[in-house]
Structure 1
Amino acid sequence: MESRFLGIGELVEAPTVAVVVDVMRAFTVAAWGFARGAEKIVLAESLDEALSLKARHPDWLALKDGPPAPGFDAVNSPGLLRSTDLGGRTVVQKTTAGTVGALAVKEASLVLCAGFVVAEATAEVLRTRECDSVTFVVTGEEGHADEDLACAQYIARRTTEAGTDAAEFLRRAGKSRAAAELAEGVRQGVHPDDVALCLELDRFPFAMVATLEDSLMVLRPHAVGGVTTLPRGTPRGR
């Protein structure tokens, strides 16, 4: 499998297969959202769009980066979200990097959103689809966030080398700038357990697939070997 690792700004055309990585914290939060019962997650292009969607669908839950804000129900923190009952709910998520990266590749045939918590399930989808070429979108720090790059490289290696050890990749992520900022309280809307939760390897047994549904980019869980399936008509990676 040929792997490319690009920042959002380096994307010049839609890849066939894209894995969008945001470890700290968008797609760790998304995974926790599904684990807490969310049916789907709508990836919003802006805070205004998130609030507009919430206004049209009052039963939806809106989530954003940073501190709490009027109109939003939650912040982008796995530690804070893990105690929230989301059974059957739709979540609207807008973050600084992760949702932006997913929307940047919305025309791809297959879009997976990932962090360490769903790494093996993501690799399994790539193996099953027999993808020859995969573009990993490293969303943080204009493509230089080491926690995202480490996770992307780990998933790429696991796709082709089942014996790859995660230890060094997790060490790099734990020493990243994002991890330090979360641990030191530089960022707002943070729980003390956020870094540890973001570094839990394979916490969840599902991958996360994003597709366009009625012009919205919608993220859903894909249980590897389970009943949840990829969208019909999704072409094989090439």
Structure 2
Amino acid sequence: MDARFLGIAELAETPSVAVVVDVMRAFTVAAWAFARGAEKIVLAGSPDEALALKDRHPDWVALKDGPPAPGFDTVNSPGRLRSLDLGGRTVVQKTTAGTVGALAVRDASLVLCAGFVVAEATARVLRERGCAGVTFVVTGEDGRAEEDLACAQYIAHRAGGALADAAAYLRRAAESRAAFELTTGVREGVHPDDVELCLELDRFPFAMVATEEDSLMVLRPYTPVPPAGGAAD
């Protein structure tokens, strides 16, 4: 598999297949939202768009980065989200990097959103669909976020069928700038368990596929076909 690793600003053209990676915390939060019963996640382009969607659909759950804000139901924190009952609900998510990256590749034929918690399922989708070339969008820090790059490289190795030492990739993420900022209180809207939850490898069995629905970019869970016999690759 031919893998490219690019920041959002480096996307000169729309890739055919894109894996948008935001470990800390957008797509860890998204995975937890699905685990808590959410039906779908609408990726908003701005806080104003998120609030407008919430205004039109009062039953939707709106979340954003940073501290709590008027109009939003919660913040972009897996530690906080895991206690919510989202059964059958629609979530509107706006974050600084993850949702921006997904919207930047909305015209790709396949868009997957990923973090470590759905790494193997994401790699399995790429194998299942025989993707020869994949662009990994490293969303954080203008493409330099170590936790996102480590996760992207790990998924790329697994998608290519190679064994990979997950501990080494997780260690890079644990030592990243984002992990430091989350654990030391530099960022707001943080739960003490956020970093630990972001580093839970393959916590969930599904991948997350984003498609355009009624002019909105919508994320839904997708469980890939297990390997023959149900054994791990």
Task: Report the TM-score range of the alignment, normalised by the length of the smaller protein.
Answer: over 0.9
Confirm or deny: 8 A CA contact 2:64 2:76 kept in the other structure. yes
Structure 2 residue matching 1:134: 3-state secondary structure: strand
Task: Give me the whole-angstrom Cα distance separating, in 2, the residues matched to 1:7 and 1:196.
Answer: 25
1:234 alignment counterpart = none
Opposite residue 80 of structure 2, the aligned amino acid is: L
1:193 alignment counterpart = 193
How big is the shift at 1:162?
4.1
Percentage of matched positions with identical amino acids: 80
Structure 1 residue matching 2:188: 3-state secondary structure: coil
Opposite residue 22 of structure 1, the aligned amino acid is: D
Task: Give me the whole-angstrom Cα distance separating, in 2, the residues matched to 1:4 and 1:114.
Answer: 15
Task: Give me the whole-angstrom Cα distance separating, in 1, the residues matched to 2:224 and 2:168.
Answer: 25
Q: How many residues align?
A: 226
Task: Give me the whole-angstrom Cα distance separating, in 2, the residues matched to 1:138 and 1:118.
Answer: 16
Task: Give me the whole-angstrom Cα distance separating, in 2, the residues matched to 1:163 and 1:175.
Answer: 23
Give the unaligned 5+ runs of structure 1: 227-238
Structure 2 residue matching 1:69: 3-state secondary structure: coil
How big is the shift at 1:83?
0.3
How big is the shift at 1:160?
1.3
Question: What are the superposed Cα offsets for residues 59-104 of structure 1, whole Å, 9 maximum, x if unpaired?
Answer: 0010000000000001000000000000000000000000000000
2:121 alignment counterpart = 121
2:38 alignment counterpart = 38
2:27 alignment counterpart = 27
1:231 alignment counterpart = none
Structure 2 residue matching 1:117: 3-state secondary structure: helix
Question: What are the superposed Cα offsets for residues 21-40 of structure 1, whole Å, 9 maximum, x if unpaired?
Answer: 00000000000000000000
Task: Give me the whole-angstrom Cα distance separating, in 2, the residues matched to 1:2 and 1:79.
Answer: 35
Aligned-residue CA RMSD in angstroms?
A: 0.7
Confirm or deny: 8 A CA contact 2:210 2:218 kept in the other structure. yes
2:215 alignment counterpart = 215
Structure 1 residue matching 2:38: 3-state secondary structure: coil
Structure 2 residue matching 1:93: 3-state secondary structure: strand
Task: Give me the whole-angstrom Cα distance separating, in 2, the residues matched to 1:164 and 1:180.
Answer: 25
How big is the shift at 1:135?
0.1
How big is the shift at 1:161?
3.0
Question: What are the superposed Cα offsets for residues 160-218 of structure 1, whole Å, 9 maximum, x if unpaired?
Answer: 13421201000000000000000001000000000000000000000000000011000
Task: Give me the whole-angstrom Cα distance separating, in 2, the residues matched to 1:162 and 1:133.
Answer: 16
Opposite residue 133 of structure 1, the aligned amino acid is: G
Task: Give me the whole-angstrom Cα distance separating, in 1, the residues matched to 2:149 and 2:41.
Answer: 24
Task: Give me the whole-angstrom Cα distance separating, in 2, the residues matched to 1:162 and 1:205.
Answer: 19
Task: Give me the whole-angstrom Cα distance separating, in 1, the residues matched to 2:44 and 2:113.
Answer: 14
Task: Give me the whole-angstrom Cα distance separating, in 1, the residues matched to 2:98 and 2:69.
Answer: 19
2:173 alignment counterpart = 173
Opposite residue 214 of structure 1, the aligned amino acid is: D
2:49 alignment counterpart = 49
Structure 1 residue matching 2:29: 3-state secondary structure: helix
Opposite residue 57 of structure 2, the aligned amino acid is: H
Structure 1 residue matching 2:149: 3-state secondary structure: helix
Structure 1 residue matching 2:191: 3-state secondary structure: coil
Task: Give me the whole-angstrom Cα distance separating, in 2, the residues matched to 1:162 and 1:136.
Answer: 17
Structure 2 residue matching 1:112: 3-state secondary structure: strand
Runs of 4 or more off by more than 4 Å in structure 1?
none
Structure 2 residue matching 1:217: 3-state secondary structure: strand
How big is the shift at 1:153?
0.2
Task: Give me the whole-angstrom Cα distance separating, in 1, the residues matched to 2:112 and 2:161.
Answer: 19
How big is the shift at 1:44?
0.1
Question: 1:218-233 to 2 correspondence within 5 Å?
Answer: 218-225=218-225
Structure 1 residue matching 2:218: 3-state secondary structure: strand
Confirm or deny: 8 A CA contact 2:128 2:225 kept in the other structure. no
